Amino acid sequence: MRNYLVGAAVAGAVVSLLELACTGQGYLPTITWAVQDPPLRPYTYRLLVVYNLMFVTPLVAIIVLTYYGLSSQQLALFLQ
């Protein structure tokens, strides 16, 4: 179990580094905008929350569906 957890943590770190090129394009300009214009910070933070929800929600949905029995073949058929 310990090796499984370490492997999952390492895989998560590698995937996060690889996705930085894609997700960073949304975060960096938004954070830069928030820093330069303090009155807009609350609005900017809300945008970041919405962006994160849009990014994470499909992943969580697939994990939950897979946990409850969705096979990779069923998912492929649905996506086609």
pLDDT in tens, 12-44: 999 888 888 887 777 788 778 877 888 888 888
- Measured on CA atoms in the order 62, 58, 17, 12, is the torsion positive or negative? negative
pLDDT at 4 over 80: yes
Percent of residues, the chain, with pLDDT higher than 70? 100
- Residue by residue, DSSP assigns 5-51 as HHHHHHHHHHHHHHHHHHHHHHHHHHHHHHHH-GGGHHHHHHHHHHH
Domain count of the fold of the chain: 1
Mean per-residue pLDDT, 53-80: 89
Contact between 55 and 23 (Cβ < 8 Å): yes
pLDDT at 28: 80
Question: Which residue range(s) make up the domain with 49?
Answer: 2-79
